[in-house]
Amino acid sequence: MRWPVPAALIAILGIVGAAAARNVDYAALTPEKFASEAERLKIAPISPLPDISARPLFTIRLAAALKHETLALGNYCAVAVTNDVAAMMQKLVEDLKTEQEVAATGPEIIIALSQARSYRRCIEVAEMNIRCITTVMLVGSKWPDSAAAKQISVRVERDSSVGGFCENVARGVGIVTREAGQQFLAAALAD
């Protein structure tokens, strides 16, 4: 026998879940937590950090307007999620340089990330089981010494399990955004 859940309790839990899901916390998303969080939210595939051993040193420039709200398409989990892509890229580069030994074997590469957009579509696939499909687009350029800029564009789309009260929406957006950042850096550092 199913017990009816009072509407007030559902509303309270929905508000609490929605409030906790509003900001992506990139400071807490270490390389180890990235893989385990992706597994917990059933996000696949994810790529490893780019290999920067035997790569030229690089600096990254970030546009000032990379902090944005992820656009919600539809009615489920339609809370505003702040997605600070500049903070994510700074953390990603920091993690990358910490995890791997950097060997300067060539001229410095300058990587500029100029645009970031993200949106999500959430659907209820079963009772108390909501999945969100998040799409992240990153656009920028890279400049090797004395060379013309090469445009870089990355688009990553993954779906995640966000829970029955949308409590993991921001975590899912963060995982997909970091995945896009890793692919962006891998494309920028590729020869």
Percent of the chain with pLDDT over 90: 41
User: Strand ranges (DSSP E) for 97-162?
Assistant: 109-126, 129-144, 150-161
In whole angstroms, give the CA distance from residue 174 to residue 88.
8
Quick one: pLDDT band at residue 138, thresholds 50, 70, 90? very high
pLDDT at 59: 83
Residue 133 has pLDDT above 90, yes or no: yes
CB contact at 8 A, 86 and 67? yes
pLDDT at 151: 93
Q: Look up residue 147 and give its DSSP letter.
A: S
3-state SS class at 56 = coil
pTM of the model: 0.83
Looking at the DSSP bridge assignments, the partners of residue 131 are 123, 161
3-state SS class at 171 = helix
**Which uninterrupted H or E stretch holds 184?**
helix 169-189
List the end-to-end C-alpha distance of the chain, in Å, as a whole number: 62
CB contact at 8 A, 151 and 141? yes
How much is the mean pLDDT over the chain? 82
Neighbours of 48 (CB within 10 A): 11
Please report, for residues 22, 46, 64, 79, 101, the alpha-carbon distance to residue 69 in angstroms, rounded to integers and kept in the order given: 9, 23, 14, 10, 35
Residue 40 has pLDDT above 60, yes or no: yes
Q: pLDDT tens-digit profile of 64-97?
A: 778 898 999 988 898 899 999 999 999 888 888 7
Residue 42 has pLDDT above 90, yes or no: yes
In whole angstroms, give the CA distance from residue 92 to residue 14.
32
What value does the mean pLDDT take over residues 113-130?
Answer: 91
**Which uninterrupted H or E stretch holds 61?**
strand 58-62
Q: Angle, to 10 degrees, between the axis of helix 169-189 and the axis of helix 85-99?
A: 60
User: What is the number of residues in the chain?
Assistant: 191
